Amino acid sequence: MKTKLFKKITSGLLILFIGIQFFTVKLNTSTILPESSIEKHYRIPGNVQQILKTSCYDCHSNNTVYPWYSKIQPVKWWLANHINDGKRHLNFDEFSPYPKDKKLHKLDEVAETVNTGEMPLSSYTFIHTHAKLSSEQKAIILTWVKSMKGQINKEISAR
Position 114 in a domain: yes
User: What pLDDT sits at residue 127?
Assistant: 81
Question: What is the model's pLDDT at position 73?
Answer: 77
Q: Is residue 47 part of a domain?
A: yes
In-domain check, residue 101: yes
Splitting the chain (159 residues) into consecutive groups of 10 residues, what average pLDDT does each group show? 76 69 72 84 91 91 82 77 88 91 94 91 83 93 93 71
Provide the whole-model pTM: 0.78
Residue 109 Cα distances to 97, 102, 104, 112, 150, angstroms: 18, 10, 9, 5, 16
Residue 146 lies in a domain: yes
Render the burial of 113-146: b for 16+ CB within 10 Å, e for the rest.
Answer: bbeeeebbeeebbeebeebebeeebbebbeebbe
Return the SS3 of 22: coil
Inside any domain, residue 17: no
Separation CA 14–CA 16 (nearest Å): 5
Residue 19 lies in a domain: no
User: What is the structure's pLDDT at 121?
Assistant: 80
pLDDT at position 137, please?
A: 95
Domain residue limits at 152: 25-158
Residue ranges with strand state E in 73-118: none
Residue 3 belongs to a domain: no
Asked whether residue 11 is domain-assigned, the answer is no
Q: How far apart are CA 109 and CA 8, in angstroms?
A: 50
Number of domains in the chain: 1
